Structures are given as structure tokens and as C-alpha cells.
A and B are shown apart, each in its own frame.
Chain A
Amino acid sequence: MRLPVLLLAIGFLTSCSNEADPSADKASFTRIYDTDNFNASFYPIDMKQTPDGGFLILGGRRINDSNFSGIYIMKVDEYGGFVSELEVDPAFVNPVGPLLESGGNYYFFAMNAVGLQTQLFQLDASGTLSDPINVGAAYPAAAAQDGTNFILLSYDNLNKQSVVSLITPTGSISQSQGFTIGAGDAVEEPIIEHFLRTGRQLPFLVGKAGGQYYFNGFYNYTLSLVFTNLTDNEPEGVVQGQQDDGGISQAVPLDGGTFALARFNFGDNYILPKSTLNTNGVSASVDLGGNSFPELIANAPVKILRITLGTTKRVLYGSNTKSSQIGLFGYDETTGDFTGSKYLGFSNPFELSSFLATTDGGLAVCGTTYMAGRFPRVCIFKLSADEVSQSFQ
């Protein structure tokens, strides 16, 4: 009687062993990528998941040779393990996200440090960089995907214009249109401070919604969300901000002509998970209302991501909280109802750079943390599909 029971017990014990699980190691992890250089400073701009399950990170770094940020590229594996890094020649500066995709390669814009001309860089999935292509536009500010081509928002400091261009992966400008920011140095000052990172990082963005292109940039003395057909030199629609003290901080087109928006106004932040914009007229961002988020830092940078949980669509907002955490807030895309939140980071400050839905149904959040409270380093939070579902379902 006793021996079989004992053997059964041993069988149970062995089956209950809790050994390493590679799938769990991939599904959820936290990583901070550290260099022991006291003066090194890195900040990520965007991250993409590569076909091998790993991640490619475009970032900036402090360089001594220029007032602008240098270019930093890092490749990590599917477990978040460090694979390689590249500190790009400081002759090239001011990297602009997001990482764009075309033909199995990744692209991003930057500029040369001397001529301040926009350059198009190509990366492969392993993080190997090709020679840049001179695009010609000045001061790249934001970019977006347009099928296999790219949309670029740049600042033309000679003509004082916000310029939207359509660019092929070979670096050719197929279409371009400029919009005046207004006369005088005062309106240009926050733009230059943005590029030098000596002032506030402005929420420049560009994209396409339906048949219209849009950009969030300076137009007629005001930070505005401008809609254009890229043919006329006058916008089709403008959502005006309050000079650089108010405006749209993020916009992502949803289905049915609506937008997921975030806006700021004199330091306050508002989230509008489902908003209809007047894209063919003039309106003001302050009239859009929205859910107030006083827990976010003043004029907070906001990222928006559309994901699908099972059969339901969610809009995730990510931003930086006053408690130095990364805050993620979920909304039902159809109704605009709040569905959940999650906060990442503790002890040291954490700031969001980008986040993406991963192929395993999880979420990867890339940001900057300050090790020992002072050294800016790249960090990644990988959340499993279960964690995402529990937080935002």
C-alpha cells in the first residue's frame, strides 16, 4: 500500500517542478540597456519588431561634435538580450522617427550636421546601416508611412515654412508642399529649440487620413493640425492651437473619419479617444474638450496605438506621469469608453518613447530611464498577451 502511494507522490512532485520556461521569458521581460560611461546619454525614438522576434531601436545620443543629437541604433533579441549597437558617425544628426518599413528594410530620416539637409537612412533587420541618401529638405521633424513610400514633415528655415513631402525609399521627393509659419523670429524660436533639444519637444507629426494628408506643425504663427491635399498651397482644414502653448499632441485616424486625439493647453492634457474633426474648415483645439489627465506632466508627449484584443478594438494612449512612470490608458475604439490602465516603472524615472503590438499578442514599450536617477538609458518593457488583456480588456 505504502510503496505505490510513495511512488505516486514522487511522480506528483516531479510533475510539479517549476523549471525555466523560454516562452514565458519571451512573453514578459523588463530590460535596461546600460553603458558604464558616466557621460553617455541615450534616448530611444522608435522601436520595431523584426521578423526574428527581436527588436530594432532607433535612438538619439549625446555627442560632443554638434548641438544636435547624434544617431544611435540598437538591436536586441526576442528575449530582450543585447545583440548589437551602432553609434552613427556624428556627421549625421537629429534622427527622426518612426522607423519606416519598405521592401523588408527599415528607414528613418536624419540630417547632416553641416548642411542641415535631410538624409534617408536604410537599416536591415539585423541593424546594419547603409549609406544615407541626401533627400534635400531641411530640418526633418516627423515622418510617417504611406504605403511603401514615406511622408516627411520638415522645417524650411530659409522660407520659414512647414513642408510636407512624399518620398520614395530611394530618396526621391515625388510631391511637396510648404505652408508658412508666419513672419518673424519669435515663431521660429520654439522650433529651433526643439531641434537642439534645448527647449520643449514639440509634438510634430504627419500622416494621411482618407484622401487627405495632415501634419501637426507650425502654420500661420500657431501650432496647428493642418489638413492638405498637397496640391494647393492653402490648407483644406486647420485645427488651430494657441501659438506653441496649446494644440494637438497626438492624432491617429480611426475608422469612419474619426480620430483618436490628445491635446494640450497651457500645460494641461486632454485625451479624446474618439473625436470628429473639421478637416475642411477652421476650428480650434481648445473647443474639442476631452478627458482631463492632470496626472500627466505638463504638455505631455503622447503616443497612441491601435490594438485588437480578441474581437474588440482598443486604442491605447501612452504618456509620462508626474510620478515619473509610463502610464498606459486603454479605450474602446468603437465607443470611446475607458477600459483600463497600466503603469510601468518605479524608483528611477521612466519616460515613454514608443510602444507597439508584438506578434505574440503582447505589447512592447520602449522608453528612457535614468539609472541611478541620472544616466539616461534605453529600456524595454515587454508585456505578455495575458497582461495586456488583463489591463485593457
Chain B
Amino acid sequence: MMYLKRMLPVLLLLLVCATVLAQPKKKGGLINKPNQQNKFLEKQWWLGIKAGTNLAQAIPTKRYTVVTPTNYAQALNDKEYDSFNNTGSQATLEATFYYKGFSFSAQPTYRHSRFTYSNQFQWDNPENVEERLVLQYDQEQKLDYADFPFIIKYDILRDKFRPYAQVGIFYSLLINANKAVAVSGTDYASGGTNQFSNDPIIVGAKDLFDNNWGLMAGAGLEYNLGNIRVVLDASYWKGMSNISNVESRYGSDRLAGIGDAQDDMKLNNFVISAGVLFPMRFLSSSFKTLDR
């Protein structure tokens, strides 16, 4: 399995190469005749960069816990996940081959995503209401991935403004992960209402997460600006596999010690990027390449 995971980036690279090799060679150099120019414009290579922000949503598929109740419902301790509440960021290199309205794009991306969850524990004495303690655990996960998406885009209009729709598949290679746990609480048994909070515990959590894959769909708008093309792109990335490492969900003593176990979960992202694309094939010495 690990071998397959290591091979995946290589596979994606091969995919890009296959696309390159599939392009037939032009013979006879650049062509200036109008009908031939249109034909020329049916194909184009674009290289570019994009950057932007993302909002993550973790969906637990199977819950795990360290703290196991013996006299109350487990659901009272369940973690509550926030959805699309924390902004992350990403930077993308884009290599796209355009052909007759369709684009085939490889977009390796460095993505930093964040999501949060919280849970609460309470101890009390039914015979003495003053004997009560409430603890709140707020946990933030920061994940860094190298994403390798393969995307197919379709240009809805082929004018100066070029709206497009896109679908794709991606594989996310985990680069790093961190967790920050903030513990706060209210102690009613100390002769008053003692509200306290501790400094967050920050731990490396790479062992708790794993690589994953998913599907994406979205839309965007490209605008021809001179010889280049600026792009605004929005997409929804749906995680299709578990992002947690099932073999080390209790692997961090620091987290297990405070009662945290990693749930199985899938990670969705809403990704917005803006960038610029550069054509790789030019029409003439005037470098006019676009249909302007």
C-alpha cells in the first residue's frame, strides 16, 4: 500500500507527460491565414500560477474516543465539528492543454487547510450543586498537503470573457499536520465561579493523518488580458477517503492523555483561487496568440 502511495505522484506526472506526447507536432511553422489561425487557436498550452484561500469541512465517518462514559451517554462527549469556518490558503502551478473548448489540466497545489472541533466534559454532584466542574476542549487542526489534481474544463463561452465549468480528481499527499488544544473550564466547587483557561497544547500530528483522494467540481472565469489570461476559479473538493491514519489514532500520548482520539473523517474544501496563465504557443512575431 505504501509503495502504491509513493508511486501516485509519479503516475500523475506520467499522466501529464502522456498528455504532452499525445499532441501532434505542427509542421511548417506558424501560419498566418485566417482559417488556419482559427485552426491554430483550437489548441493551446497554458502555464500559470494561482493562489487563494480555502475553507475546510471535516465530516466524521466513525467516531473514536478515549474518554469512555460508564454512567452517561457517549453522545454528551461527542466532538462538534465546525464547517467551512476556518480559512486556509493554497498556491497552484497550472499546466493546461486546451483543445476545441476543452482543457485538460494538471494543477499541483500546496494547500494549507484548517478545521476545528470542540467537546465538553462535566462532573457534578446531584446532592450538592456547588460540586460541579465543566471542561471545554477546543481543538484546531492544521494540515499541509501537496495536491495533485487532474482537471477537465469546458469553456462555456469562447470570447474575451471565458466562463468555464470543471470537474476533476485529486490525490492529496500529506506534508505536515499540527494540532492545538485549548482547555478551558469553570470550576463551581472552589468557593466561587472559577473560570480558567490553560495555554494551548500544540503538538505535531502528522502521524495521526494520512494521504487521501477525492473528486472536485467547480466553475471559473478567464479573461484575456493582452497575451496572458487572468483567471478566477472556485471549486468544491470532496474528500472520498479517510484522512486519518487508522493505525495511530491514539499515537500521540499528549493528545490521548487529555482524552482525544482521532475520528475517521473525510475532508471537504471550498477553494477559491485567482491567477494568471501564459500561452506556450504563439502565432507570430507579434506574439498575438489569443482570439482578440
Contacts and interface: CB of A to CB of B under 8 A. Distances in A.
Interface of A: 1-2, 5-6, 8-10, 12-21, 24-25, 28-39, 74, 76, 80-82, 85, 343-348, 350, 369, 371-372, 374-375
B157 interface: no
Contacts of A35: 69-72
A1 B21 CA distance: 10
Given A17-B213, A19-B246, A348-B257, A2 B68 contact: no
Interface stretch (B36-44, B110-118, B124-132, B275-283): B124-132
Contacts of B241: 13, 16-19
A6 B15 contact: yes
Contacts of B213: 13-14, 16-17
Contacts of A28: 247-248, 250-251
Given A6-B15, A8-B11, A18-B210, 19 more contacts: A2-B22, A9-B8, A17-B242, A18-B245, A19-B241, A21-B247, A28-B248, A28-B251, A32-B259, A33-B69, A35-B70, A36-B121, A37-B123, A38-B128, A76-B68, A85-B70, A346-B256, A350-B257, A372-B185
Interface in B1-38: 1, 4-5, 7-8, 11-12, 14-15, 18-19, 21-22
Given A9-B150, A30-B256, A39-B131, A16 B4 contact: yes
B125 A39 contact: yes
Interface in B70-91: 70-72
B175 interface: no
A269 to B, nearest CB: 22
B273 to A, nearest CB: 22
Contact of A33 (B68, B121, B247): B68
Contacts of B8: 9, 12-13, 16
Question: Considering the complex of A and B, which 10 residue pairs feature the smallest CB-CB distances, nearest first?
Answer: A346-B257, A17-B241, A30-B256, A13-B213, A347-B257, A38-B125, A38-B131, A346-B254, A21-B246, A30-B250
Nearest to A369: B257
A34 B121 contact: yes
Interface string B97-141: 000000010000000000000000111110010011101000000
Contacts of A2: 15, 18-19, 22, 104
Contacts of B11: 8-9, 12
A15 B11 CA distance: 14
Contacts of B261: 29-30
B12 A9 contact: yes
B268 interface: no
A308 to B, nearest CB: 23
B250 A20 contact: no
A356 B68 CA distance: 21
Interface residues of B, number: 63
A74 B135 CA distance: 25
Contact of B66 (A5, A10, A31, A375): A31
A187 B211 CA distance: 63
Residue among B104, B124, B257, B261 with the highest chain A CB neighbour number at 10 A? B257
Interface in B219-248: 240-248
Contacts of A24: 246-247
B257 A345 contact: yes
Contacts of A82: 68-70
B169 A38 contact: no
Contacts of B72: 35-36
B171 interface: yes
A347 B198 CA distance: 11
Nearest to A31: B68
Contacts of B19: 2
Contacts of B62: 20
Contact of A347 (B131, B201, B250): B201
A32 B66 contact: yes
A255 to B, nearest CB: 34
Interface string B176-200: 0000000001000100000000000
A364 to B, nearest CB: 13
A76 B68 CA distance: 10
14 contacts: A17-B242, A19-B242, A28-B248, A30-B261, A32-B67, A33-B70, A36-B69, A36-B72, A39-B125, A81-B68, A343-B253, A346-B254, A347-B258, A371-B259
A73 to B, nearest CB: 12
Contacts of A80: 68
